[in-house]
Amino acid sequence: MRKPIIAGNWKMNMTPTEAIELVRALAPLVKDAKCDVVVCPPAIDLSFVAEAISGTNIKLGAQNVHWADKGAYTGEISAKMLLDLGVKYAIVGHSERRQYFGETDETVNMRAKAAIAAGITPIICVGESLEQRENGVTDAVVTVQTVAALKDIEAEQVANLVIAYEPIWAIGTGKTATKEDANATIKVIRDAVRGVFGQNVSDRVRIQYGGSMNPKNVSELMSMDEIDGGLIGGASLKADDFSKVVNYQ
């Protein structure tokens, strides 16, 4: 059985003060969660959130990680730096990073390998645009992205990382893939993993849905056999909403 994982991606929201208030309010609401609970605040908030969640079941995640250990990469943050703050997870290849900041399948792979090498679990994002979905190439797009992201990563490492299926057209739009469509595409992603790494790995890797999951639709999405959790955007910015997603069972 794959343990569900619900991760909140705060994106560019929350000052350090607001971040502390949010996780302090969240902690008692999710203390009995049956899934893994992760919050991914902006980099400037990480140290404050790390202290605020100490002793709770909430794990700390970063929104990005660089592939180099150190060097002349102004504005970037290394896996070693994140690890020192207590970061356990790092989002890699989010569609907004791909769309606005030039992220490619190759750099996604490099970032994922750097996270793994440091002992941080990457949450690797894949997903198609509205145009790609309308052109009927969703399966091909997510397969290519998945295989490229996992290049030269060992099978056991793949089994222990997280993949997030993010239909780009459903992020922040209020639109959501039907539970059947989301489940079917996540199965395509799992099949892509199986094609490279075998059945055992594909059965173990956790794959989240990342397209506007919220308290209203979480139960139906999580009822599907291929969906192992959610990468939550807007609903993660309010303790009450995020806790309802976490406590969907």
pLDDT (tens digit per residue) in 97-142: 999 999 999 999 999 999 999 999 999 999 998 889 889 999 999 9
Confidence at 20, pLDDT banded by 50, 70, 90: very high
Concerning whether 66 is annotated as a catalytic residue, the answer is no
Helix (H, G, I), strand (E, B) or coil at 112: helix
Catalytic residue among 66, 94, 103, 128: 94
| Whole-number average pLDDT of the chain | 96
Q: Give the angle subtended at the CA of 37 by the CAs of 212 and 243, to the nearest 5°.
A: 60
Measure the CA–CA gap between 182 and 152, rounded to whole angstroms.
27
Which residue range forms the structural domain that includes residue 36?
5-246
SS3 content of the chain, % helix, strand, coil (to 5): 50, 15, 35
> Residues of the chain with pLDDT > 70: what percent?
100
Q: Count how many domains the chain has.
A: 1
Catalytic residue among 103, 128, 166, 226: 166
pLDDT for 26 equals 98
Write the CATH number for 21. Answer: 3.20.20.70
Measure the CA–CA gap between 182 and 210, rounded to whole angstroms.
9
Measure the CA–CA gap between 99 and 127, rounded to whole angstroms.
12
Confidence at 173, pLDDT banded by 50, 70, 90: confident
Measure the CA–CA gap between 242 and 7, rounded to whole angstroms.
9
For 198-228, write each residue's pLDDT tens digit: 999 999 999 999 988 999 999 999 999 999 9
Question: 173 is written with which tokens?
Answer: 């739009």
Concerning whether 94 is annotated as a catalytic residue, the answer is yes
